[in-house]
Amino acid sequence: MFESEKLVSLYRENFEEIRIYGEIVVHDGERVVFQTGDHLGQFPMRSLLKPFQLLATGLSLESRELEKWAPCVGSISATENQVSELKKWYTDNLSKKFLSKLKLTLQLPADEENRARVRRQKESLSPFFHMCFSKHMAILMACEKEGWNLENYHEKEHPFQKRFIKTISDMLDEPRRDFKTVVDGCKLPSPVLTLSEMAHLYQKLGSAPTGTTLAKIRQIMTSYPEWVGGPERVDTLLMKKNIGLVAKEGADGLLGIALPASPKYPNGVGVVVKVFSGFHMKLAALAVSPLLQAMGLNTVDEYSSDHRLEYHYKAFQKRVSKVTDISPSLSEKIAVWPGDEPFQRKIVMDTLKGNHLTLSNISTTLHVGAHTDAVNHTEATKNGIDTHSIETYCGRCQVIEIRKGPGTLIDKNDFEGKKILAKRVLIKTLSFPNPHSFNEDFMSFSKCAIDFLASQGVVLVGIDTPSIDPFSSKELPAHHAVFQHGVAILEGIVLVDVEEGFYHLSSVPLKIAGGDASPVRAFLTSI
């Protein structure tokens, strides 16, 4: 689950009238240098990828006037003048051949004035009206050049689409990454990326060395901003107001910005904005204004003078982290597994009774409160908790809430619609509500759920119950499954006050030689 951030509110007098949610990520080529929230969410990047789709064509950009390449990386408004120019450029026989192969759905122009004219004159719909027309034509040019099939260029397994995926994989230094794709509005497969990955790609666009094809694409975009969008479009206006800056609007609230190398940012900077209100670019521009101002850039702000703005983030300022303890207190009140040794603390010396120090000892089962099981708890091995890597128990984690009936098993199907985006997953069931009173009908894991989580790269599973297996289970299939996959366990945690989302988990076990388990002090830090 991706939790969006509150970016800006618009007040009418003292009443909040509009609230913009979203996410902003800044990448400097080495790391994310600023983010408004947790940027693990993945999104179809659609039109933001056009510069890189043109790069993947492998076409020589010197083969015709540079202006004619500009709409290939843009999402044009299709003004009457733009459409007229496009029709002049694509008049040769080869272009006519490509026109017959286009997979575009015919649309009205995005430009309001031209759309009204087309309707008024009852003009036929034309592929020249489509925002992605020139991109498709460039892909067909590449297919002709390479001898590839022109009929199925829109399919994921087509050579061009494979080359495109390889292009962005190589740029992100992830040559083996199998990107998931969705079908874009123009019928092409669109890779699904994180916002930080997309910001990294835009940083590459902004910093591409002179003489490279990517630098030429940057030059095309900055030289012909009207062809990237159109009159009054946010990306066009940003480029006109800031020399050398690249801006590109994307579908459904995405805005990409690339800054060239400078003394302050020697590797350039990539910025990606995602607002959760659909295709409202003026809201995206408004949301990113404080960040652009902090970088010394001109902004594109448009809102009613009746409104007062309040931003909920400060550019390049880290957020204060919140720490949540998810361990129950250990005392004689803590419930343990029936038959296990209860927790007992014996005070040997006490300063409150005149002794010079307080000294005590404890006796208890190792499976008490928040704890982790060792491999030798269920497997025939000498490997105790002291052999477990402490790195497994610390790092980014994802809390997922699954609510089912008493005594039920968490199944693979319960994760449908819940993307696993962290290596550590904690399940909030609220089925063991009182750590001082043992109830036997708590929820637990099925083997197939463990197998599924392991297949997603999960290295630790946690649950807010005493065990990942049912109370009555003797076979313990979930325990055997986690140890088979090399996955760690965290049991007995308290998640009642924890919302779904992403955190940093700390839950290091004690180094008990040969121990079959260890209590932990587990806590979550907001990211």
Catalytic residues, by residue number, are: 377
For the chain, the helix, strand and coil percentages under 3-state DSSP, each to the nearest 5: 30, 20, 45
Give 110's contacts (C-beta < 8 A, 6+ positions apart): 76, 77, 78, 131, 230
Beta bridge partners of 6: 21
Instruction: Tell me the DSSP string of 153-211.
Output: TTSTTSHHHHHHHHHHHHHTT-TT----EEE-TTSSEEEEEEHHHHHHHHHHHHHPPTT
Residue that the structure tokens 């009774």 belong to: 353
Q: Give Rg (Cα) of the chain.
A: 29
Beta bridge partners of 409: 444
Residue 19, both tokens: 């609230």
**CA dihedral over 74, 78, 82, 84, signed as positive or negative:** positive
- The answer to whether 483 touches 375, Cβ cutoff 8 Å, is yes
Instruction: Tell me the DSSP string of 267-298.
Output: T-EEEEEEESSSS-HHHHHHHHHHHHHHTT--
Sheet of 42-44, strand order = 42-44, 189-194, 181-183
Overall size of the chain counted in residues: 527
Give 389's contacts (C-beta < 8 A, 6+ positions apart): none
- The answer to whether 378 touches 476, Cβ cutoff 8 Å, is yes
- The answer to whether 362 touches 494, Cβ cutoff 8 Å, is no
- Nearest Cα to 180, choosing from 192, 164, 196, 162? 192
- Nearest Cα to 244, choosing from 298, 174, 163? 298
**CA dihedral over 309, 315, 320, 321, signed as positive or negative:** positive
Largest CA distance in the chain: 102
H or E segment and range at residue 226: helix 225-228
- The answer to whether 51 touches 248, Cβ cutoff 8 Å, is yes
- Nearest Cα to 244, choosing from 218, 271, 267? 218
Residue 253, both tokens: 């609230």
